[in-house]
A and B are shown apart, each in its own frame.
With several copies, the nearest count.
Chain A
Amino acid sequence: MIKLRGVSLVYPNGTRALDDVDLEIEKGSFVFLVGHSGTGKSSLLKLLYREEFPSDGEVIVDGIRVDTLRRGKVPKLRRNIGVVFQDFKLLSHKTVWENVAFALQVTGTRTRDVMRMVPRALDLVGLSHKSRMFPSELSGGEQQRTAIARALVGNPKLLLCDEPTGNLDPSNTTEIMELLQRVNLKGTTVVVATHNQAVVDRMRRRVVRLEHGKILHDDERGYYFRGLGQTAVLPG
């Protein structure tokens, strides 16, 4: 599903966010992306839906060369990718319902289907009762769940979640992770960048650890800290 070959990303201000990264993620897999703050996780995800261009290397998503993709074709790429942005990126002038519906409307989904799919997605993240509110009227966690609903609603082939539970309490976190697991079982490839040790350690999925823009290790059925389950030591 995803192939990065020798990918580097240097931002205009000179920051080297990714440094010669090679990564392959198969269709249908579930991968955690972990690493310190500022180590390049979000940057890596941004390359996949072409918010950023690699300074070097190739980015291939679902067989498409993303880094050289013609501008006109980018919307189509993005419609096949659901993204939970780290800062949510909700449309502030649209209600929760409209924000979620928007992701369907841009794909040209029939109104009838929109009316059916949006409530289901909101129900999955437990926000049905907030559907008519604007983002500014939501708590942090509610905004985050709106972002998750928007990413899920279109049944994307690829789901990228950037710190999707940073503003959620443990029980909500568990529910959301179970939701992601179910989505994954239905065939969606899921990549989750997270700092939540408990979540990573419980799920025991593939864990890719970045460090200073490089892949430090990459474990099938890994822990957040290599080899250490959550019940063991916490740093500090």
Chain B
Amino acid sequence: MDWGKLRFFLGEVFANFTRNAGMQFTAIGTVAVTIVLLGSFLYVRETIQTFGTGVLSQIEIVVFLKDGVSDAKAKDLAALLAADPRVAKATYVPKAAGIKRMQEVLGKDFDTSLLTSNPLPNAYHVRVKNADDVPAVAKKIARDPRVAKADYAADTVQKLLKTAAVLGRAGIALIALLSISAAIVIANTIRLTVFARRREIAIMQLVGATNMYIRLPFIAEGMLAGVLGAAVAIGVLALAQAQVVPKLAQTLAFVSFHVDALTLCLELLAVGAAVGIIAAWLSVGRYLRT
């Protein structure tokens, strides 16, 4: 490809773009809007997921030791627990600490003076890395001879896990729905911009242009519309993040708002460009067939 032709091609793309500025801005606007939506929901989903992971990581297995187990032997168990790769943390909670924690949970009205002795056994509080592993880990621990019982809020864990699973799948479904919608909307928009120039396409064919020759500028334009739309969207999202997230983070200090922005941006740009290109290719093809 000689330099003149490349220049011609780029000039072509630029001229087409500026000479249809109104139409192109409309298209870019649509792309931007859909990508802002997509970006927002990716962000929200990531946040919810992080939050969910945080909640699930709070689940504890309470391991009650048998009454006769000595403190030394009990501490031995720690090594065993730590050896399990699924376990994140195991904290030893002797009777005394246990009753304190219980009082915290129940409020100050749990009158400890009424107790003749501590009704609680020594215990380990075990946190696992992945909430899904809770039942298996609990079962395994329960088999240890020193352990009286390995317990967890089975009902709550079940509910949480189910909810997390459903939310996770719903999130993926919604993102998929949104992605497909965005793709359709962008593709339709680009198809309409091509439709508005179907006469030009027919003329180009009659003058002897090959299909590829006709297609290329349209594809470049589709890509440009996609990329510019995505860029605008990223700008809007960045602005929104800078404005909104700090306020949210302040209010909901217990939710994590960290999202890998660069990857997200690149993804959105890639989506814009890819959809633009594919839509332009297909749309022009439709008018080339006649």
Contact = CB atoms under 8 A, between A and B. Distances in A.
A105 B8 contact: yes
Given A91-B200, A110-B2, A103 B15 contact: no
Interface string A69-92: 000001111110101010001111
A83 B15 contact: no
A27 B213 CA distance: 30
A102 B207 contact: yes
B108 interface: no
A98 B200 CA distance: 13
Interface in A151-208: none
A112 B3 CA distance: 11
Interface string A120-156: 0000000000000000000000000000001000000
Contact of B210 (A90, A92, A106): A106
Per DSSP, are chain B's interface residues mostly helix, strand or loop, or mixed?
Answer: helix
Contact of B209 (A75, A89, A90, A111): A75
Interface of B: 2, 4-5, 7-8, 15-16, 19-20, 197, 200, 203-211, 213
A106 B208 contact: yes
A77 B208 CA distance: 8
Highest count of chain A CB atoms <10 Å: which of B16, B20, B206, B213: B206
A78 B205 CA distance: 9
A93 interface: yes
A220 interface: no
Q: Top 7 A-B pairs ranked by shortest CB distance?
A: A111-B4, A78-B208, A79-B208, A106-B209, A75-B210, A93-B19, A89-B203
Contact of B204 (A74, A79, A102): A102
A111 B204 contact: no
Interface string A42-82: 00000001010000000000000000000000111111010
